[in-house]
Structure 1
Amino acid sequence: MGDFLKREKNKEYTRNKLIEVAMELFQKKEYQKTTIEEIAKLAGISKPTFFAYFDSKEQLLYAFDLKQIHTFELYMKEQLSPQGDLLLELREAIVQMAINLHTTHLLTQNMMHLVTINENYKRLLEDTFSIFRKVIKEVVEYGQQHDIIVMEVGAEDVAKDLSTIYLGTLVNWVITSGQGSLGNQMRSTLDHSLQRISMKWRNVNEASH
C-alpha cells in the first residue's frame, strides 16, 4: 500500500511538473514552436514518458485550463453564504482565473489561434466553458434565493453574458497587444453586467466612486 501511494504521488508530481514547465515555455515562445522534446527535457523525463501522461501538447494545455476552472469552481462553492459579498467574490474569482490562465497576451493569442485550427482543443475548451457557465449559474441562483440578486434575472442568461464578457475582454486584450492590466480590464467590464443584476452591487460601487 505504501509503495502504491508513493508511485501515485510521483505520478502526480510528474504530471504537475509537465504542466508547469510547458506553461513556462509557452509564455516565453510561441506555442507552435514549443516541442514535446523541449517540454520533456525541461521536466527531466524522456519523450516516451511524456506520452504516458499526455497524448499531445493540446491535451497538456487543456489540463492547465481545467485545473484553473476547477479551482474557480471549488472557491465559489465555498463562498455560497448569505453573509458574504457573493458578487464581489464572483467578480474577483473570475478576474483571478483570467490572470492565472492568461499570463501573457502572446500565450492568449496562441490559445485563440489553436481553437481555430485544432478541433480537439476547441472541443476540450468548450467543456471548460460549460463548467464556467454552470458555476456562474449556480452562484446566481443562490443569490436569487437569498435576495442578493434581483429575482427576474435569468441565471442562465447571466452565465452566458459573463462568459461572453470574459471572452470579449480577452480578445480586446490580445488586439491591443496586452496593453494595460488584464485584471483591471476584466474587473471593469464585469462591473457593468453585475450592476445590472444587483441593486446592492450598484449602491456599493456608486458609493466608492
Structure 2
Amino acid sequence: MNLRERKKQQTRMRLLEIAEQLFSELPYEEVMIDEIVARADISQKTFFNYFPSKAYLLEELLLNWLREVNVWSHESELELNLKSAIVPPNIDEIQDWIVKHRRILQMIMYHTDLFSSVYFSGDAPAGKNLLFPPSYRKPRMERVQKAQSLGIIRPDISAELVCDMYDWLRVDVVQRWLALPDEQATAEGFKKSYDEVVEVLCRGFEPQPVTVAADA
C-alpha cells in the first residue's frame, strides 16, 4: 500500500470512528454530515468520495466490522461435526458485539435496507450494499461443501441453500431481538434464541438414514 492509499484508508477509518461515536450518542435524524466532516477536518466533497449518503455510512459500520471478524477468511480447519461447518468459532465474540451495538443495529434495521439484502437473489441492486457479499460467504460455502463430501451434512441440499438458510435465520433472530422493548431485550435471551434456532437448523442438515425396503 503506497502513501496515498494509506492516507485514504486512514481517512475512511477516521470517518467510521466519528460516525460510530455520533450514532451511539444521537438519534439518526440528528447525526449530520456537516458535523462529521467538521470533526474529520475534510470537505463534504471528500466525504461523498467515500460514502454517498449518511445511510451508506451507517451500513459501513457493520460491514467493516464483519470483514474484520470473518475468521474463516484465513482459518479453514474443519472439525468433524456439523455445527463447526456452519457456525464460526468466534460466535461468542460476534454475539457480544451485537449486544453491545444494539442501538446502532436498530438504526440500521429502521433506516437502511441492509438486513433485507440477505433475501436478494444474485447481485445487489445498483447502489445497494449486501450484508453478506460473496467474498464473505465463500469460506462458509467451502466448509459446507467439504462437510458434505465427508458425510457430515446431507448432500441433497445444495451448499448455497444451507448457507442461505443459516443467514436468513440468524438475521431473523437479530431483527426480532432488536425489535423488542429495551427491558425485554436481554443478552441472555438473544443468545438463547440464537442457539435454539441453530440447533434446530443443524438437525435438519443431518444426513438422512438410509432405509432398506423389506423383502416382500
| 3-state SS in 2 of match to 1:127 | coil
Farther-moved stretch of structure 1 (127-136 vs 16-25): 127-136
The match for 1:25 among 15, 22, 27 is 22
| Deviation by residue 1:55-99 (Cα, 9 ceiling, x = unmatched) | 2112223333332343455x2243433457673374245664465
Q: State the TM-score, normalizing by the size of structure 2.
A: 0.69
Question: Does the CA-based 8 Å contact 1:162-1:193 persist in structure 2?
Answer: yes
Cα distance in 2 between the residues matched to 1:69 and 1:61: 13
| Residue identity matched to 2:130 | D
| Deviation by residue 1:30-74 (Cα, 9 ceiling, x = unmatched) | 22321111222333434343223222112223333332343455x
CA separation of 1:17/1:156 partners in 2, compared to 1, >3 Å: closer, same or farther? same
| Residue identity matched to 1:167 | V
- 1:9 is displaced (CA, Å) by 1.1
The match for 1:112 is 109
Identity percentage of aligned residues: 22
Aligned length: 192
CA separation of 1:68/1:148 partners in 2, compared to 1, >3 Å: closer, same or farther? farther
Cα distance in 2 between the residues matched to 1:28 and 1:52: 25
The match for 1:150 among 132, 150, 154 is 154
Q: Is 2:125 the partner of 1:128?
A: no
Farther-moved stretch of structure 1 (90-99 vs 139-148): 90-99
* RMSD of aligned Cα (Å): 3.4
Cα distance in 2 between the residues matched to 1:183 and 1:25: 27
By percentage of residues, which structure has more helix? Answer: 1
User: Structure 2 stretches of 5 or more lacking a match?
Assistant: 118-123, 208-216
> Rg bigger for which structure?
2
Cα distance in 1 between the residues matched to 2:99 and 2:45: 29
User: Structure 1 stretches of 5 or more lacking a match?
Assistant: 200-209
The match for 1:203 is none
CA separation of 1:196/1:86 partners in 2, compared to 1, >3 Å: closer, same or farther? closer
Farther-moved stretch of structure 1 (101-110 vs 143-152): 101-110
| Deviation by residue 1:100-155 (Cα, 9 ceiling, x = unmatched) | 46743332222122236xx99x8466623353555543331121123332333332
Q: Is 2:173 the partner of 1:169?
A: yes
Question: Does the CA-based 8 Å contact 2:51-2:57 persist in structure 1?
Answer: yes
| Residue identity matched to 1:57 | K
The match for 2:186 is 180
Q: Is 2:141 the partner of 1:137?
A: yes
Q: State the TM-score, normalizing by the size of structure 1.
A: 0.71
